[in-house]
Structure 1
Amino acid sequence: MDKQIDETLNIGSEVKLAEGLSKNIKIGTIGLIRQVRKVMKDAPYKFSNSIGREKWPATDLGAEVDWPAIEASYREAFNLVLDGGLSDTEYELVDLNGIEELENLLTRFL
């Protein structure tokens, strides 16, 4: 019965992001997949690489990398696919295992 209620509410499985912090993943719909892909089109790097980095200016070896913008894209995508999104406080609590879970999570939608 709980699974049927969850499906009615468009809620899928649960992912653990830190001790005492778990979130349900929304069930992927075509509309949600489109939204996530639109948000993530400008994020060519892994989420873990973007955390807390400053913007890198363009050099002869490569283009400018706006790490804060990439991290913001990931946060927006996480808020789309996680039921209830992630508050600023919850985001700061995500541990190393949770970072890995979040990276794997988006592959379902991309």
Structure 2
Amino acid sequence: MARAETNWETQMRKGLSEYFVMLVLAASPAHGYKIASDLRELEIFDMGEGTLYPLLARLTARGFIKPAWATDGPGAARKVYSLTSQGRRELSRMKALWRKLNDSQNLLGG
């Protein structure tokens, strides 16, 4: 039986989800399924559609990502997301905070 996740683990994942989605998109533009798949491979995020697509909508509304319809390849058109220049700046700030948190943890013996 899988161990139940604690509240702090849930809150940490929620807080980091935007950061990790933006890291995926910094590597290359991607559609929702690819983003979820890349995150699932990390074995930390198993983000369902009900979590991912509202998060993508929030990042779009804040100007951090931009959706575009991709019509190349077989099948129906898919919405592909990419980081905007504003999103790249925000991601840079997020990375700086992440480094600061990690440095602080290391100083405390973590």
- The two structures have a TM-score, normalised by structure 1, of 0.31
Larger RCO, structure (CA 8 Å, separation 6 or more):
1
Report the structure, 1 or 2, having the larger helix content: 2
